[in-house]
Structure 1
Amino acid sequence: MTSQPGIDVVVFDILGTMVDEPGGIGRGIRTALPGIDDTRAGELVALWNRQVEEQQHQVLAGRRPYASSTVLGFEAAARVAAEAGVDHPDVVRDLAAAGQRLDPWPDSVRALDRIAARFPVVGLSNASRTALTRISAHAGLRWHQVLSAEDARSYKPHADVYRLAIANADSSPDRLLMVAAHAWDLRGAQAMGMRTAYVERPVGDPPGATDSFDLAATSLDELAIRLTAT
């Protein structure tokens, strides 16, 4: 399959899809907590991710008032520091900041630029507004617009987050293409009537046997070629 007709806007997940979130957190942990080995750093990254996911689920289930990703990231940094036996506030701040210094995947910048030459490109992320500014600047991601789940006071895959992108585009949902490395994210977009494109990443959530997305690519470069082919 080559270019996709009838697309008005391409919407991108950012964390994991465009930037290497675990890698950036891992670098921050190794810098802030010198002396730990890679195995221990990996365990602490997993702890960070569990903490954030648990708290997002608490928000989605209505068991916790909405708290932005900046707040959840700081809580995760504090938990990681405590697990490592460190309680100095500067260490916690440094760890939290690492969660917003995330490197792009090797093809993210050039593929985004290629797609942006053909379509409006919009980032749609669970990251807070302030976090998205820092993440996009550090990674060199140039958006036509970036939308935060903070404006919906929820987290993907809640329908209200995808509604932000649909309302912003002022188009019918089936004229928006959602790009993500996480099948759970694409299922949420699909439920809102959006078209979907899965991009394989080392840290993503691959499609299951019952998933059927409009496009699937092994890289963002491949997806960009297919979307812009004439």
Structure 2
Amino acid sequence: MPNVDIDAIVFDVLGTLVDEPAGIRAGIRALDPALGSSEVEHLLSLWQRHVDGEQRRVREGVRPYAPSDVLDREAAQLVVDAVGADPALTAELALSGRRLPPWPDTVAGLDRLTERYRLIGLSNASRTSLLELSAHAGLRWHTALSAEEAGTYKPDPAVYRLAVAASGRQPERLLMVATHAWDLRGAQRHGLRCAYVARSVGDPPAAADRFDVYADGLADLAGQLEDADGVFG
């Protein structure tokens, strides 16, 4: 593995540290316990397609910026309408986007890494959502940054600039960690070092991708950084 000489680690949150689909599935099942697994997966896909599509429209300038709270509420409304449930349940369902379980290695992995590095959360979640999901999952940060502060969504360069500015370091002194190859490509274009962490819900690297670290989880990531003798400055 190449030497990774860094001062801070920037973490994607949704998917990388918390199991976003699992949290939304739980909200959908609570909406109607009679739903079968295939129906739940269809509704989850409906939610995800809406959020992904609207974030893309914001990045492209087709839609004015709307925080993730708004997009989650719209997605929840689509699910409620598809199920034919009481519209009054929409607000509660939308909150499932904040009640996301951490992966089994997340909390211990962050605790291990925070002994040597500054940890920065960088999420497309709104400020309020990021605060609540971090508390719910027990995530430990030095700084947590929302794309809301940039008025757009990753992989827009403006979001990665938030982490660079907060760190007070040059981009190459930061390691972006994500399970989404598209996220890492965005960070890489802005000069950050990149680490791919495999998760079952991620976007795997393509053959052409060249990231600095490939890890099976946060324990593996921490071990590789320790072996590489990364420097905390």
- The answer, yes or no, to whether TM exceeds 0.5 is yes
Aligned residues: 228
What percent identity do the matched residue pairs reach?
54
Correspondence 1:42 to 2:60: no
For 1:219 and 1:156, the matched residues in 2 are separated by: 22
Corresponding residue for residue 80 of structure 1: 79
In 1, distance between residues paired with 2:18 and 2:194?
19
- Matched residue, 2:68: 69
Partner Cα separation in structure 2 for residue 48 and residue 15 of structure 1:
14
Give the conservation status (yes or no) of the 8 Å contact 2:4–2:212: no
TM superposition score normalised by structure 2: 0.95
CA–CA separation in structure 2 for the residues paired with 1:154 and 1:125: 11
- What are the within-5 Å matches in structure 2 for residues 157-196 of structure 1? 157-196=155-194
In structure 2, the residue matched to 1:23 is: 22
Question: What is the rounded CA distance, in whole Å, between the counterparts of 1:114 and 1:92 in structure 2?
Answer: 38
Larger displacement relative to structure 2 (9-18 or 27-36): 27-36
TM-score w.r.t. the length of structure 1 is 0.97
Verify the 8 A CA contact 1:20 1:102 in the aligned structure 2.
yes
| CA deviation string 1:117-161 (max 9, x = no partner) | 110000000000000011001101011110000000000000000
* Structure 1 gaps, min length 5: none
* Equivalent in the alignment of 2:211: 213
Q: Indicate the RMSD between aligned Cα atoms, in angstroms.
A: 1.1
How far apart are the structure 2 equivalents of 1:227 and 1:201? 19
Given that 1:14 and 1:124 are in contact with CA atoms closer than 8 Å, whether structure 2 keeps it comes out as: yes
Does the alignment pair 1:107 with 2:75?
no
Deviation (angstroms), 1:5: 4.5
Aligned counterparts of 2:135 and 2:25: Cα–Cα separation in 1: 19
Q: Distance in 2 between matches of 1:153 and 1:5?
A: 31
- 4+ long deviations beyond 4 Å: none
SS in 2 for 1:99: helix
The match for 2:150 is 152
Unaligned runs of 5+ in 2: none
The alpha-carbon deviation at position 228 of structure 1 amounts to 2.8
Counterpart CA distance in 2 for 1:204 and 1:119 is: 24
